[in-house]
Amino acid sequence: MKEVRPWNAALYDSSLGFVSRYGQDLLQILKPAAGEKILDLGCGTGDLADEMTKLGADVTGLDASEEMISRAREKYPELRFIIGRAESFRAEEPYDAVFSNAALHWVKDAKGATESIWEALRPGGRFVAEFGGKGNVRLFASAIEEVLASRYDVDAAARNPWYYPSIGEYASLLEQTGFDVVFAELFDRPTPLGDEQGIRDWLSMFARPYFSGMSEEQTAEASEWITGKLTQVLARSSEGWLADYRRLRIVALKRG
Ligand SMILES: C[S@@+](CC[C@H](N)C(=O)[O-])C[C@H]1O[C@@H](n2cnc3c(N)ncnc32)[C@H](O)[C@@H]1O
């Protein structure tokens, strides 16, 4: 299967491990029980699938990126990982829960994804997800779009790769699909990235679709401009620059 977009699995694990660390909070909400069949949607390199397996759940990890899945298989050879796309996969057997951390904002076909998730669950099964919500990384998107438009004449806003819905938008979509939404929260979570290299790594990992068609040199140069702009507007903590994350957390049950 063709990758949705290239993911650098090694960089993900070495510099951006905070993503799955924050996912621990979501696991507390999911509370996987021993023997439950759970799908980890957009599982990345498999750390949270492994955590759920250690709690006794029967976990399958699904991700669109061959590179992320191949690293997950290397790290956790005893676990089951499959390549598939959130917006179109079909499960062979029903799951008790679909879990998804930091993945669904990459899926612009949100209707397709919620339908796939609904199809994958048994009646009464739960969908527990966290991803970027309305307003997430607004400062990053503005800096990227300003630099690309002013210096490279790129209509960068048209390349914005993310889907960051409000609670109202996403809860309505879930209800139309056949879920009861039992919990929804949109909250700011300033996320430390360390020094300027942390900003560059973030851009390299998560903002690549913006640089489509640009050479590696141009991309590196643009990243420097963007990083410079961001250091003028981002807040800072003792752990370095703070990315302006805003997360949407949702729990929904498939109507039985
Ligand atoms: C930021 S990573 C999160 C990985 C993991 N859930 C974690 O918490 O570490 C986002 C993942 O979403 C996956 N992804 C992006 N678009 C996808 C799609 N359409 N279907 C399935 N997975 C997708 C990427 O390949 C990547 O592994």
Query: Each residue's pLDDT tens digit in the chain (256 positions)?
Result: 333 357 888 888 887 778 888 899 999 999 999 999 999 999 999 999 999 999 999 999 999 999 999 999 999 999 999 999 999 999 999 999 999 999 999 999 999 999 999 999 999 999 999 999 999 999 999 999 999 999 999 999 999 999 999 999 999 999 999 999 999 999 999 999 999 999 999 999 999 999 999 999 999 999 999 999 999 999 999 999 999 999 999 999 999 8
Q: In whole angstroms, give the CA distance from residue 96 to residue 183.
A: 18
40 Cα–ligand 1 center, Å: 10
Ligand 1 atom index nearest CA of 107 = 19
Structure token digits, residue 124: 């009464």
Integer distance in angstroms from the first to the last C-alpha of the chain? 33
CB 66 within 8 A of CB 1: yes
151 Cα–ligand 1 center, Å: 31
The pLDDT value recorded for residue 197 is 96
Contacts of 200 by beta carbon, 8 Å cutoff, 6+ apart: 223, 224, 227
Q: Comparing C-alpha atoms, which of 5, 138, 120, 10 is closest to residue 72?
A: 10
Nearest Cα residue to atom 8 of ligand 1: 20
The pLDDT value recorded for residue 5 is 52
Give all domains of the chain, ordered by start, each with its CATH number: 9-136+161-192+244-254 (3.40.50.150)
Q: In angstroms, what CA-CA distances link 8 with 45, 184, 202, 206, 208?
A: 10, 31, 11, 10, 11
**Residues near ligand 1 (Cβ within 6 A):** 4, 7, 19-20, 23, 42-44, 47-48, 63-65, 68, 85-87, 101-103, 106-107
Q: Are strands 191-192 and 240-243 parallel, antiparallel or unpaired?
A: antiparallel
159 Cα–ligand 1 center, Å: 18
Ligand 1 atom index nearest CA of 100 = 6
Nearest Cα residue to atom 7 of ligand 1: 20
86 Cα–ligand 1 center, Å: 9
Q: In whole angstroms, give the CA distance from residue 185 to residue 187.
A: 6
The pLDDT value recorded for residue 7 is 80
Q: In whole angstroms, give the CA distance from residue 254 to residue 256.
A: 6
The pLDDT value recorded for residue 4 is 38
